[in-house]
Amino acid sequence: MSILIDRSSKVLVQGITGRQGGFHAKLMMEYGTEVVGGVTPGKGGEWFEGKPVFDTMRKAVETTNADVSLVTVPARFAADAMMEAADAGLRLVICLTEHIPVSDMMRVVSYCAQKRTRLIGPNCPGVMTPGQAKVGIIPAMVAAPGSVGVVSKSGTLTYEVGFAMKNAGIGNSTIVGIGGDPVIGTTFVEVLEMFENDPETEKVALLGEIGGNAEIVAAEYIKNAMTKPVAAFIAGRSAPAGKRMGHAGAIVDGGEGSAEEKIQALEAAGARVAANPEEIPGLLS
């Protein structure tokens, strides 16, 4: 089963003729993802690695029956690209782009909700169902098929933990990077709920960080509704308050969003919290 994507997902890449978009579209195809085409306004009619390029999402969806889109366009065009994908009726939109203004994201998230499109990201590494498909930039080598679901705010930390699991003989059902921005399409709780309902997921690893209260809300859900065990790591225990640690959302603001309060809430909810990400495989075996 897995969640969000599998080998039957038909994927369009918005920005496929760009350097990043093209590079990762190729890697996705090599991994086995069914990339059915791409969209770059003004380049409709061209071809990318044997796949058609369209001017608009509407035309691309009509022609290919795609159900998933990957947004790789630069920040100033990304909000428009996400809304175009939602307008074209896609089930799932995954946005990698970093540095999108929060005011744009508030409109995009609201619009996607109206259109009933699930948005993952922005500022995320994407989604990977090992052995089946990946939509985004998660390196193929970090995970093998298995039964541990991963949900994370971060990119390389996810690779680190995924790779450590793989080396310990633990595989993953699906890996979901939800992104490190203050306003994102899909939060921890929604992904936890999907994993809870996914028969192929037996355990879950949650990788959070300072800033906001998404991990606290996740802890509530774990406590009240989750039957599957959760191992967690929260990054940023050594981060000073009031400083943005790389991710736009990673800031302890007005005493809110510290690593300590998140760790406490997760532990109180019954999750096993690692002090060191290298302990995560041990907590899951």
Partner 1 sequence: MKLHEYQSKFLFRDFGIPIPEGVVATTADQVRQIAAELGGVVVIKAQVHVGGRGKAGGVKVAQNPVEARAYAEQILGMDIKGLRVEKVLVDPGADIERELYLAITNDRGAGRPLIMTSMDGGMDIEELNRERPEAITREHIDPILGLQGFQVTYIASAMGMPRALWRQFGSILRGLYRCYVESDAELAEINPLVITGGGDLLAVDGKVIIDDNALFRQPALTAERNASDELESERQAREAGITYIKLDGQIGCMVNGAGLAMTTMDMTKLYGDADGIGPANFLDIGGGATPEQVATALRIILSDSNVKCVLFNIFGGITRCDEVAKGILTAYNEVKPDVPMVIRLQGTNAPAGNRIISAAQIPNIMSAETLTNAAKMAVAAVKEGL
Binding site for partner 1 (CB under 8 A): 27, 75-76, 99-107, 109-111, 137-139, 141-142, 152-160, 163, 180, 182-183, 207, 209-210, 212-214, 217, 233, 235-240, 243-250, 254-255, 259, 275-278
> Cβ closer to partner 1: 137 or 222?
137
Q: Which is nearer to partner 1, 37 or 208 (CB)?
A: 208
Shortest distance, position 27 Cβ to partner 1, whole Å: 7
- Rounded CA separation 229/284 (Å): 8
Q: Nearest to residue 172, comparing CAs of 126, 207, 131, 124?
A: 131
Structure tokens, 129: 């169902």
Q: Which is nearer to partner 1, 69 or 154 (CB)?
A: 154
List the catalytic residue out of 24, 247, 262, 272: 247
What is the β-pairing status of strands 145-152 and 133-136? unpaired
Closest CA to 73 of 153, 9, 16: 16
Choose between 102 and 225: whose C-beta lies nearer to partner 1.
Answer: 102
Q: Which is nearer to partner 1, 138 or 176 (CB)?
A: 138
- Is residue 247 part of the annotated active site? The answer reads yes
CB of 190 to partner 1, least distance (A): 13
The Cα 153–Cα 137 span in angstroms is 14
Q: How far is the CB of 236 from partner 1 (least distance, A)?
A: 5
Quick one: which of 155, 217, 160 has its CA closest to 180?
155
Distance CA 82, CA 223 (A): 33
CB 92 within 8 A of CB 69: yes
What is the closest distance, in whole angstroms, from the C-beta atom of residue 180 to partner 1 in the complex?
6
Q: How many residues does the chain have?
A: 285
CB of 39 to partner 1, least distance (A): 23
Q: Which stretches within the chain are classed as H helix?
A: 19-31, 57-64, 75-87, 102-114, 156-167, 188-196, 214-225, 259-268, 280-284
State the Cα–Cα distance between residues 6 and 34, nearest whole angstrom: 9
Task: Report the SS3 class of residue 119.
Answer: strand
Catalytic residue numbers read 247
